[in-house]
Structure 1
């Protein structure tokens, strides 16, 4: 096992971290990097937005006011706040091919991920997959040793990070699903970050139309 922090390269001592979720021989992050990943405790019951008390956050209430989207996504569960440290971790992971996030979160995913019949990663378009070299959502499942069901494909569009919030929310459907029967299935979408919730809701709407009983999402960070 590596004895250096996967993120900063500093040597690891024998202390435990992340509430002892990492066993001594599988610890991957040093204390300083470990402290940079801030767990979400409580938050919005609909989307895990931090520091939300007394029910759904404003964003979830707005989604629920639209007949088209009300009830499409059961809920989103996120592990960490999207602070400055997590922004850098995600940038290294997604755009520079550094698997640190997938490896360091694998143990947590196995214990924190909600139960579902099928775990479905949010796909990349062929063009984006070629550009990055791997699907960051699928890699999270692979590193955690969890089953992966690639039911969706994606049309190539401008990066979500380049769009305004309004453009994300009002954009056209970007996913496709082959003819399939998902009757009665409880499905969990897997992605790296939840921001506006548009991506997972577009995916969830197709899965619900294919018969899924319930669709939720699980992400590493909540933006």
Structure 2
């Protein structure tokens, strides 16, 4: 049995390997903050023409990682992408948990993501909401992030990620 996804369109720049992996790792783990512009450029090149009415929403990082880095890495990418495309940046998703997904198996990731998000805005059911994440592994984070947007009133949610990381 397959589950119905809470988003209608999805894009991914590529698999998390080679130069894309190096760029992401430098950005996330070596504090190469300026890399967000290159990552936003990759999104800009990879996504088709979007309606000007799209709202860009980052998947929020956990508070521990924001404190470690000094910034929310996905929010910087999403904000820069929105700026490039002249779209509305709407950071309305909030983390309810502070659990780390990295290194976890499929079942644990799904369980952790299930109640991880809330949306603190009432969304317009006529709007299109583009949820941006850096790495998609099982899809649980974007699935439950999109679900939180739907609960807040979104009718149409799209998803874009920088990379896809297969589970080992």
SS at match of 2:64: helix
- Alpha-carbon contact 1:152-1:177 (below 8 Å) kept: yes
| Structure 1: runs of 5+ lacking an equivalent | 1-61
| Structure 2: runs of 5+ lacking an equivalent | none
Bigger relative contact order (CA 8 A; separation at least 6) = 2
Q: Distance in 2 between matches of 1:179 and 1:191?
A: 19
Q: Does 1:183 align with 2:125?
A: yes
Between Structure 1 and Structure 2, the one with more strand by share is 2
1:151 pairs, out of 89, 92, 105, with 92
- The 5 A counterparts of 1:61-76 are 65-66=2-3, 70-76=4-10
CA displacement, residues 81-132 of structure 1 (integer Å, 9 cap, x when unaligned): 2114433322221122213532223333334335252100011233321122
SS at match of 2:102: helix
Provide the TM-score with structure 2 as the length reference. 0.81
Q: Distance in 2 between matches of 1:84 and 1:218?
A: 20
State the superposition RMSD in angstroms: 2.1
- The 5 A counterparts of 1:1-223 are 65-66=2-3, 70-114=4-48, 115=50, 117-144=54-81, 145-146=83-84, 147-171=88-112, 172-223=114-165
Provide the TM-score with structure 1 as the length reference. 0.63
CA displacement, residues 25-44 of structure 1 (integer Å, 9 cap, x when unaligned): xxxxxxxxxxxxxxxxxxxx
CA displacement, residues 158-201 of structure 1 (integer Å, 9 cap, x when unaligned): 31113111111233310112251332221110111111100001
From the CA coordinates, give the structure whose radius of gyration is larger: 1
